[in-house]
Structure 1
Amino acid sequence: MERNYTKIFLDHFAEHRQMVFVMGPRQSGKTTVAQDIVAQQSQATYLSWDNTDDRDLILQGTNAIVDRVSLKALQNDKPIVCFDEIHKYAHWRDFLKGFYDSYPDQARILVTGSARLDVYSRGGDSLMGRYFPFSFHPLSVAELVHKQFSRKVDILPLPKKIDDEAFQALWQFGGYPDPYLKQSETFCRRWQKMRSQQLFQEDIRDLTRIQDLGRLELLAEYMKQTASEQVTYSNLAKHIRITDKTVREWLSVLKSLYFCFEIKPYSKNVSRSLLKEPKFYLWDWSLCQDEGARAENFVALALLKAINYWNDIGIGDYALHYLRDKERREVDFVIIKNNKPWILIEVKHKNNKSISPHLYYFQNQLNVEYALQVVIEMDYVNKNCFVGPEPLIVPAKTFLSQLV
């Protein structure tokens, strides 16, 4: 299936010379998008570090790549070169810097990776100013209903109805294209097992020096069971029987390889706020067995996708946090826009027709523009969720269609 990212990256190349660094989880569709771009462009080349022939070509250096893409020949358009999984090459930053600096504005370069390219640098020279990062996410409600959107899309488009079967498939099987399209429980279980094996037997082995993979897998399993809950590192260390320092290091690895992501409490102007305890969510919400945790994780990833997109294309400065004070008043999410709280979101799996009093409390305390209680099991309503300041109960099918 064609992803909206294809147009986003091509729009970037039409306007800018900087490389595009695409960072996102395995099996989310990055390679497919890179190959789609190559298929659509008359002058485009796809090279994967995981392919032996392509790896040999990359190791031969810049001149070999120049010859492959005919960079010294007169061409109608600037050629696009896609480097997939090149972060596994120890000297990838030096290689890209040399290629980019030797042929400025003569080629467009797309780099994809299943690890955060800004983390696993393994030394080498800086690429500062030579690339723009783009976060690549699994499928979302908004991407399924807005088939093609420009990079200059309205930040909160009007809602659009998603087919009930498509929404249920997304909820049950997750946003990764293969299990979503197959819609088979047996396939989904096999796919999840395969992805876990790739993470622990390939990615962590190739990119880290962690020896105790058994305990690391135990930590990952524990994170599945506690997704959306607050994490105390000392308690987690006792449970896994490792040190606090090791817990933090291993969680950093799991974040960098897109197993989970972290949301921290927002404390500015919040009376008696929590300051440290983060909450962790999974990049695959279908791993959450508890429906309440899955609902919160489902919305969390959609919010993160929107925020990453808005930041990546330069609309503004956005961040995602949660709210909780020492009186245990809590709101699941707060979107920060240019350093000010903008939208409060409380997530419910079922509609109890009663708005959380904590939405009212924090909206008044922080002077937030919108306060929404998002309900998973609620029918689509063809109305804009962002119509006024009063807290509002809204269907997830409507709210999520207004994101990215």
Structure 2
Amino acid sequence: MEILNRKLFQKADSLLNKFPFLAITGPRQSGKTTFAKSLKPKYKYVNLELPELRSFAQSDPLGFLKSYQDGVILDEVQRVPELFSYLQVISDQRNKVGEYILTGSQNFLLSNNISQSLAGRIAILNLLPFSWEEIAKNTQLESWEGFALAGGYPRKHMYNIEPSDFYPNYIQTYIERDVRQILNIKDLVIFQKFMQLLAGRTGQLFNQSSFSNELGIDQKTVNSWLSVLEATFIAFRLPSYFRSFNKRIIKTPKIYFYDTGIACSLLGIKTNNDLAIHFAKGPIFENLIITEIMKSELNKGEIPNIYYWRDNHQNEVDLIMEKGGNVIAYELKSSETFHTDFLKGLKYFQKLAPETFPMLIYAGNLHLEREGIQIRNWKDLN
């Protein structure tokens, strides 16, 4: 598989000609380093995970940066937050575009330091694991279940690693490294239990009190732990759509994972057959399609404005996206057989918002329009 052929490449290359800094954030092992090197193969590469380089950068930031100029990739730059103010000074003095590529897997650290030091000087892009569009030509996966289990992490696909071998090790490494760096958690077993419970609630409303009761921790800790999963690109909250339509709207966010391979692993789902009969089959399909739509937008350098909608009468739309002044409403169904009932939520929502473009994404093969609603197979998102 050609790992360098990422859809984000064109946007990143364009931004390097306009800004002194380009930051690439995303989950650990989503391919950020390889992407940065492919973008500028002649740039010097500095990995700040290495203790000796990190020590140099921390003890003498100015000397460190003067040693690496005229095209540099600073990998895992959030490990040395002291660098950011010095980067601003040196960049302003040199007044050159495209000189620095920064990567990091902890979004909140990068964003916090960028907002303080590099605002207006930096372009920020998010590189998530492979999308279906990126791997479709180079994989033998055919079903959505197979892709959901496999997830999109480059190493898993490059080396054809079984999900049951890749994801438990990924999760354990993530907890031992990233979580320990951010939180002082004495019992990591409880944190892993929290992740498993969260996976079981994929596509559901985030109920802090429920987690608090089941884990024996306070709600503040629950929210803090979820914030860490968000900051490190493991899970995210999907907010409710803000338009009221003169009805009471459920405002609690829903929970999803950035990669369904992680969610499936946490749920103990190992095969397509396991997923086909699992209680989370529908939510995992929802999760897969939502992240595919997210990736499509992020790979264009755009921030996806996505939501779900539900009123107090249980009328619901799985996904709503605002784009270019338009509103697109998606119903997401894991069934391979089309039923007219699938259109109920979309038709109800369209009465409230007639300007909406409604679309049903499901696991079957129909590609048509019915009652003004586009019906598409899950592979036909782009």
Q: TM-score, normalised by structure 1?
A: 0.80
Distance 1:120 1:19 in 2: 13
1:184 deviates by 4.2
Q: Secondary structure at the match of 1:345?
A: strand
Distance 1:102 1:222 in 2: 50
Q: Secondary structure at the match of 2:117?
A: coil
Structure 1 partner of 2:27: 25
- 2:83 aligned to 87, 92, 111, which one? 92
Q: Are 2:66 and 1:66 equivalent residues in the alignment?
A: yes
Distance 2:51 2:349 in 1: 56
The amino acid that maps onto 1:20 is L
The amino acid that maps onto 1:176 is Y
Structure 1 partner of 2:107: 116
1:279 deviates by 0.7
Deviates more, 1:192-201 or 1:257-266: 192-201
The amino acid that maps onto 2:194 is L
User: Residues 124 and 225 (structure 1 numbering): CA distance in 2 closer, same or farther, change over 3 Å?
Assistant: closer
1:113 deviates by 0.5
1:23-74 CA distance string (max 9 Å, x none) = 10011100111222342x4xx11111012453355344334443444xxxxx
Count of aligned pairs between the two proteins: 359
The amino acid that maps onto 1:178 is R
Structure 2 partner of 1:252: 227
Please list every run of 5 or more consecutive structure 1 residues that lacks an aligned counterpart in the other structure.
70-78, 146-161
- 2:357 aligned to 354, 357, 370, which one? 370
- 1:224 aligned to 195, 199, 203, which one? 199
Structure-to-structure mapping, 1:233-252, within 5 angstroms: 233-252=208-227
Tell me the percent identity.
21
- 1:323 aligned to 309, 316, 325, which one? 309
Q: Secondary structure at the match of 2:239?
A: strand
Q: TM-score, normalised by structure 2?
A: 0.84
Structure-to-structure mapping, 1:312-351, within 5 angstroms: 312-313=301-302, 318-337=304-323, 342-351=327-336
Structure 2 partner of 1:175: 152
Structure 1 partner of 2:272: none
Q: Secondary structure at the match of 2:87?
A: helix
Q: Are 2:282 and 1:292 equivalent residues in the alignment?
A: yes
1:396 deviates by 0.8
1:140-185 CA distance string (max 9 Å, x none) = 123346xxxxxxxxxxxxxxxx688344453330111122344443
Q: Secondary structure at the match of 2:74?
A: strand
Conservation of the 8 A alpha-carbon contact between 1:87 and 1:120: no
The amino acid that maps onto 1:328 is Q
1:115 deviates by 0.7
1:99-119 CA distance string (max 9 Å, x none) = 323322165211111110556
Structure 2 partner of 1:303: 293
Conservation of the 8 A alpha-carbon contact between 2:30 and 2:128: yes
- 1:139 aligned to 127, 130, 144, which one? 130
1:321 deviates by 0.3
Conservation of the 8 A alpha-carbon contact between 2:205 and 2:254: yes
Distance 1:68 1:318 in 2: 35
User: Residues 52 and 37 (structure 1 numbering): CA distance in 2 closer, same or farther, change over 3 Å?
Assistant: farther
Distance 1:253 1:132 in 2: 23
- 1:360 aligned to 347, 362, 371, which one? 347
User: Residues 318 and 204 (structure 1 numbering): CA distance in 2 closer, same or farther, change over 3 Å?
Assistant: closer
Structure 2 partner of 1:5: 8
Distance 2:165 2:46 in 1: 28
User: Residues 66 and 7 (structure 1 numbering): CA distance in 2 closer, same or farther, change over 3 Å?
Assistant: farther
Please list every run of 5 or more consecutive structure 2 residues that lacks an aligned counterpart in the other structure.
270-279
Structure-to-structure mapping, 1:161-200, within 5 angstroms: 165-168=140-143, 170-185=147-162, 188-200=163-175
1:124-143 CA distance string (max 9 Å, x none) = 94321121111111111233
User: Residues 335 and 110 (structure 1 numbering): CA distance in 2 closer, same or farther, change over 3 Å?
Assistant: same
The amino acid that maps onto 1:350 is S
1:90 deviates by 3.8
1:95 deviates by 3.5
Q: Secondary structure at the match of 1:398?
A: coil
Distance 1:275 1:18 in 2: 43
Q: Secondary structure at the match of 2:27?
A: coil
Root-mean-square deviation (CA, aligned residues, Å) is 2.7
Q: Secondary structure at the match of 2:23?
A: strand
Structure 2 partner of 1:72: none
Conservation of the 8 A alpha-carbon contact between 1:81 and 1:107: no
1:199-226 CA distance string (max 9 Å, x none) = 2111111133344433222111111111
Distance 2:242 2:180 in 1: 37
1:292 deviates by 1.4
Conservation of the 8 A alpha-carbon contact between 1:331 and 1:344: yes
Deviates more, 1:192-201 or 1:211-220: 211-220
